[in-house]
Structure 1
Amino acid sequence: MSSLGVLPSLPAVITPPPVLRSGTPVIDEVVTYTVTEATATVTYTYVVHKAPQIQNAYWGVFALMGVATVINVLFIAWATYRRYRARHKRDETAASPRPTGRLSLRRLPHAVLSASRIVGFRLRIPFVDMTLVEFALSIMYLAGCLAFAFAPTDNIKPAVHLHPNYWGGKAGIIAAGQMPLAVFLALKNNPVTLLTGLGHEKLVLMHRIVSRCILALTWIHLVGESLMDEGWKIAGMVGAVAQTVTTILGIKQIRHRYYEIFYSSHVLFIIIFIVTVHIHCIPMLCAYYVWPCYIIWGFDRVLRGSRYVLFNFILRPKNQKALVEHIGSDGLRVTLKRRIPGGWKAGQHVFLAFPALGIESHPFTIGNIYEKEKGSDEAEMLFIIRAMGGQTRMLMDKTSENGTCELTAFFDGPYGHPEDIRPFKTCIFIAGGTGVTYTIARMHQLFKDVHSNNALAKRVVFVWAVRTEVEYEWVASDIAKVIALVPRSVSLLVEVYLTGGRRDNALQALPELGKGDVDVEKGGAAVSNSSSKERLSSRPSSSGGCNEKTSDSGGCTPVTPTKPPAAYFDSGAATPTTACADGSFALPRPGIMHKSGRPDIRNILEEEITAAPGAVAVDVSGPDGLVDSVRAALSEPFAGPMATMRGTPTVLLSVEQFRM
């Protein structure tokens, strides 16, 4: 008995049963096999089609990483050059043309950069919470994989690429071939970060794209290979169900609301998925696609475990416990001291674990910069945490009796790759709620870099939207400490918006500058007022001297900020809420404004960007609504390619928004 075609039970790379067999090829594309089982002899003749090239699915990802690497290298080179000029005190004002209203072809590259940033990273697809780049990559990647699954691999007849068992088998092999890539993109210690400058929290977006593609191909494979008559096939079905469940739990709304459930189930179901797919692939002779998953995942775990042991046990701190303070509302202030060779960068995060509360670890942004204590190798790490549910709520319950408690804490990190903002002349920090820990640390580090002539910032704007005055008190003293260090060459404006509740002593104790007050610009300058004219008048003058209001008196005396008294810094988490005896505030007046309502993000950004003398960096951290409003504002025409060609500076947007 003979047949022409593809054996239903054989994979795309066809292998006959390992019994007594003899093969006699007729031509290159046709093979005849004779199989003898007991007394029966069966002859199979079939067409040999080219096997799908699984590695083709990788080329798109590798090309994308290559582009990101080139962009990262160019950015580092530009930033290094700019900082070199800053250290050598070279004036770059002439190199930053002001908007003239006339199009300049010389700024066409800047316009292309602005357009690519808007289209790629700021505009978002409604309802799916994805940028255009994420959405386009998802569609393109899935389309490419489906093409590999359904398109013919050659022109040999008869064509079999539309037979269910053929495209089902190809889809399964392509899905298995991408599993190492999905695991690789989920690593916390990812070598891709060194090349592209993208931290694991950003690479996880690509991990989700690949994982969703694997999910779609897995179910296509199951539809094409519908028989569940053997154990290895049932194992494949179990793996598909496990991946489907973890994908559903990974939906943003579910993941954020039930993070502990998502994290624990994700680890469990992914292990089930990998093991069952491995079992499923053994009879199909493609288990070699799964083996790298164990190696990649194991290497990352060994590396993370080694750092965990190093920082928490080998470099054992004097006190392994963390101080947890209930600072009002649902806020917690966690401080611990650790020895960390090399320290951390402002804006990085760590994974904190409290063994007394469970084995889960949560990512928290470090709210201060790396500074060793005098006479010690340890540095204090500060975290501001809003208790939501799960472990953070358990942490708050521990402080319910005395308002504070001490718990043994372990950490893993630091992680993250914050953008380098040192080469930018205007730096804008926007935060909502506990997102202030990211922006305040970034501003503090920027001031230190300016003091050491390693940053170009001339204008710094700090905007924080907070619901109640109690939440403002969480970091009021920390903001005061950072503001007191503002360099004399930097014009600083700080705005605190109270979006709910009444304004109490804590906010009233802040200096609210009147029209005649000066702000810090070479030690003086920014008028605290809400209108556009008064905001713009707070900027340093083009000559680098005093503004018009101070020069009218016939002279200009810069106001040098002085450090607050030590007693103020001793206040810790509880910020003083009363004024001094003479009614003034203990701090100098560096342009702090306090307002009610929500900030007009578009107006703030438009005024600062259109008046900026050079490239602008915008850092934002906070709720999704705030981040979306910043993205939308920076997609407006005032920051678009046409405005850039007329002289408006380009804008780099950095977002700290965990998508764990």
Structure 2
Amino acid sequence: MIGCSFYRIDLLAENAYLRFANQIGIMAFAQTPLVFLLASKSNPISSLTGITYQKLNYLHRASGRACIFASWIHALLWTPEVWWAGHFKRWYIIWGLVAIFGFTGLWATSFRWIRRAAFEFFLVAHILLSVAFLVGALFHWQRMAYWIWPAVAIWAFDRLLRVVKTLRINFPWRRADGQCTLEMVGSDVIRLTARRRGLKWSAGQHFFLAAPGVAGSKHETHPFSAANVPSDEGDVEAVFLIRAHRGFTQRLRDAMTSDTDTSIPVFLEGPYGTAHSLEHFSTVLLVAGGTGVTFVLSHFLALLQSARSGRSPIRLLHLVWHVRHGSDVTWIAPLLNQAAKEHPDIDVRVEVFVTRTKVADEPWPGEVQTPGVETPPTVTSHGDHLSGRSSQTTLVDPAESRPLLETIPTPTTGLSRSAQEIVSFKPGRADLCTILRRDVARSEGQVNVTVCGPEALMSSARTAVREVNTPEAARRGQVEVEFFEETVGS
């Protein structure tokens, strides 16, 4: 971009720096359509390449930084001339200031910590400042309007397409089969089930949810991954797990009149994201932390569907989930019950690692789990009542063959008898390297590791894959391990 700005400039000529300032200003204008194209949810680049708009976001940020860098170089080089000529009160200068400060505001409000702390503010600021930038740039130098109007067209088309998608999914079915059910399944987790006729999506895709009755603005939407996949028959229900933090999610929880509420209208827009198929793997290890389970659980259920229909050669399906409390399994209990009832003749395992117990620590090498004794219903430390049966697991140190003093309860709240057979509870954090080595040793073909959760968990998964999938292991004939990750958060 800087090199193009020097095109046909005689550096020894008088006022050569002003010609450079003009040309780098043109480079800033030229970035504008690309900035808006890469920010759109339905951009053609994703359709042509299969790369999701989230993955292209780094190009959106890069083109935006290039635009703001070129704009400020242009402005700073022209400032002395404008000052000496007394043009600061002229409209083309005023509109130029509106454009450059509007775009600078876009950059300043786009940092990750701002998006996480105040997403609603980020959303509204992005819309208002984008309008300020486009209008200011258009009137600053109208001869460059051929760069601005395509950006306006891209932004308008993206908004129109999103409105059409929302209308198509939600409004033709305003009767009972279009309702949403919100359930408090934890102290800060809402399970939202949206029933929509004819709704289709693939594992790993997400929707934008809008609840005008509780949103801060009518334009406010938030992305959430679907925790399930469409059923082969019957009504189509999309299930989402929403952790109430602040802002929209907090207002959504406060608006609920009971633990189960069907009175709050929630509209869906999507699906978005390119499906990442795992059907061709023989062994799949899915790793999640907290509500990141929604992403991997949809793959879990999709693989079971594919195995039942004979579309997948999978023989081992292993889900490792980290939660704070054992009772958090109630978030996904209905989906696990359905999976356990209908799962095909393959090895299916769900390991729930509980990180907040008296024995929660890094797993001991050689930990042995022995079945305990059934106990009556108990109450967890944060006050959630456990119904049905609950067993108790004792950890044994094989070196000394003596039970530890502490035990971890194994809650089965909401789990059916068949689901209890595939779900196990363990304290602490998973030793992903050991788990992966064990799964790879038992695999008959390609292995995939897919992880979704906090950065620390994804880093641990990457380390495990790197330690297991070594060149030496490949030379010994070890099967190939493929890795895929999805980041939690905006």
TM-score range, shorter-chain basis?
0.7 to 0.9
1:274 aligns with 2:104: no
Distance 2:16 2:473 in 1: 55
Alpha-carbon displacement from aligned partner over 1:583-637 (angstroms, at most 9, x marks no partner): 9972266443311111123333344346543222222112222123223433x34
Structure 2 SS opposite 1:423: coil
Distance verdict in 2 for CA 1:448–1:441, change over 3 Å: same
Q: Which residue of 1 aligns with 2:3?
A: 147
User: 2:332 aligns to what?
Assistant: 475
For residue 220 of structure 1, report the CA deviation from its aligned partner: 1.5
Which residue of the partner structure matches residue 350 of structure 2?
494
Matching of residues 472-621 of structure 1 within 5 Å:
472-488=329-345, 490-501=346-357, 576-579=387-390, 586-587=417-418, 590-609=421-440, 612-621=443-452
* Amino acid in structure 1 at the alignment position of 2:450: D
Matched, 1:180 2:29: no
Paired with 1:260 and 1:631, the residues of 2 have a C-alpha distance of 33
Tell me what 1:654 maps to.
484
Task: Specify whether residues 656 and 157 from structure 1 end up closer, same or farther in structure 2 by C-alpha distance, changes over 3 A only.
Answer: closer
**Which of 47, 55, 58 lines up with 1:202 in the alignment?**
55
Distance in 1 separating the partners of 2:57 and 2:419: 44
CA change 1:306–1:400 in 2 (3 A) is closer
2:189 is aligned with 1:331: yes
Specify whether residues 323 and 281 from structure 1 end up closer, same or farther in structure 2 by C-alpha distance, changes over 3 A only: same
Find the aligned partners of 2:347 and 2:147 in 1 and give their Cα distance.
Answer: 57
Mapped to 1, the partners of 2:259 and 2:311 lie a distance apart of 45
1:148 Cα deviation from its structure 2 partner? 2.8
1:426-441 matches, within 5 Å, as: 426-441=283-298
Q: Which runs of 5+ in 1 are unaligned?
A: 1-144, 504-528, 536-572
Q: In 1, are the aligned partners of 2:433 and 2:468 still within 8 Å (CA)?
A: no
**What amino acid does structure 1 have at the position aligned with 2:431?**
D
Asked if structure 1 preserves the Cα contact closer than 8 Å seen for 2:326 and 2:425, the reply is no
Deviates more, 1:231-240 or 1:586-595: 586-595
TM-superposed CA distance for 1:173, in Å, is: 0.8
Post-superposition offset of 1:196: 1.4
1:428 deviation in Å? 1.0
SS in 2 for 1:484: helix
Query: 2: CA distance between counterparts of 1:436 and 1:158?
Result: 59
Q: Report how far residue 449 of structure 1 moved.
A: 0.4
Instruction: Name the CA shift for 1:656/1:406 in 2 (closer, same or farther; >3 Å).
Output: farther
- For the pair 1:249 / 2:76, whether they are aligned, the reply is no
- SS of the aligned residue for 2:293 comes to helix
SS at match of 1:357: coil
- Provide the TM-score with structure 2 as the length reference: 0.82
1:393 aligns with 2:250: yes
Change in CA separation of 1:205 and 1:648 when aligned onto 2, cut-off 3 Å: farther
Q: Give the Cα separation in 2 of the matches to 1:574 and 1:383.
A: 23
Which residue of 163, 173, 198 maps to 1:340? 198
* Structure 1 CA distance for aligned equivalents of residues 386 and 66 of structure 2: 51
User: Structure 1 298/408 Cα, relative in aligned 2: closer, same or farther at 3 Å?
Assistant: same
- The AA in structure 2 aligned to 1:274 is L
Contact 1:168 / 1:225 at 8 angstroms: preserved in 2? yes
> Compared with structure 1, are the counterparts of its residues 605 and 272 closer, same or farther at alpha carbon in structure 2 (3 Å cutoff)?
farther
Structure with the greater alpha carbon radius of gyration: 1
Cα drift, residue 265 of structure 1? 0.9
Deviation at residue 448 of structure 1 after TM alignment: 1.0
Please list the CA deviations of residues 199-241 of structure 1 after superposition, one character each: whole Å capped at 9, or x if unmatched.
2222222211211221222211211221362321222222222
Task: Answer whether contact 2:340 2:418 (CA < 8 A) is retained.
Answer: no
Kindly indicate whether the alpha-carbon contact (under 8 Å) linking 1:618 and 1:652 is maintained by their aligned counterparts in 2. yes
Say which is worse superposed, 585-594 or 648-657, in terms of deviation.
Answer: 585-594
Show the 5 A alignment for 1:77-476. 145-149=1-5, 152-154=6-8, 157=10, 159=12, 163-226=16-79, 227=82, 229=88, 230-282=90-142, 285-340=143-198, 343-358=200-215, 359=218, 360-371=220-231, 374=234, 378-399=235-256, 401=258, 404-476=261-333
Q: TM-score, normalised by structure 1?
A: 0.62
| Alpha-carbon contact 1:476-1:575 (below 8 Å) kept | no
Aligned identity (percent) is: 30
Match of 2:453? 622
What SS does structure 2 have at the residue aligned with 1:208? helix
Per-residue deviation, 1:159: 4.2
Q: 1:398 to 1:659 in 2, by over 3 A?
A: closer
CA distance 1:162–1:326, shift in 2 (3 Å): farther
Match in the other structure for 2:404:
none
What whole-Å deviation, never above 9, does each CA across 1:393-420 have from its counterpart, x for those lacking one?
0111122655535211111111111311
Q: Describe the shift of the 1:231–1:617 C-alpha distance in structure 2 as closer, same or farther (beyond 3 A).
A: same
Q: Distance in 2 between matches of 1:311 and 1:317?
A: 13
3-state DSSP class of the match of 1:245?
helix
Q: Aligned equivalents of 2:268 and 2:315: distance in 1? A: 36
* Change beyond 3 A, Cα 1:496–1:165: same
- Paired with 1:470 and 1:588, the residues of 2 have a C-alpha distance of 15
Q: CA deviation at 1:243?
A: 1.7
Amino acid at match of 1:474: W
Distance 1:643 1:290, change over 3 A: farther
Confirm or deny: 8 A CA contact 1:367 1:440 kept in the other structure. yes
The Cα shift of 1:530 comes to: 7.5
- Alignment: residue pair count: 442
Shift of 1:190: 2.1
- Alpha-carbon separation, structure 2, partners of 1:593 and 1:444: 18
Gap runs ≥5 in structure 2: 370-383, 392-410
Contact 1:188 1:415 in 2 (8 A): yes
Indicate if the aligned counterparts of 2:177 and 2:197 stay in contact, CA closer than 8 A.
no
User: RCO greater where, 1 or 2, for CA within 8 Å and sep 6 or more?
Assistant: 1
Q: Distance in 1 between matches of 2:137 and 2:170?
A: 36
Shift of the alpha carbon at 1:188? Answer: 1.1
Is the alpha carbon distance of 1:351 and 1:253 closer, same or farther for their aligned partners in structure 2, counting shifts above 3 Å? same
Counterpart residue identity of residue 164, structure 1: Y
Counterpart CA distance in 2 for 1:161 and 1:201 is 46
Indicate conservation of the 8 Å contact 2:183/2:191, yes or no. yes
What's the CA shift for 1:574?
9.3
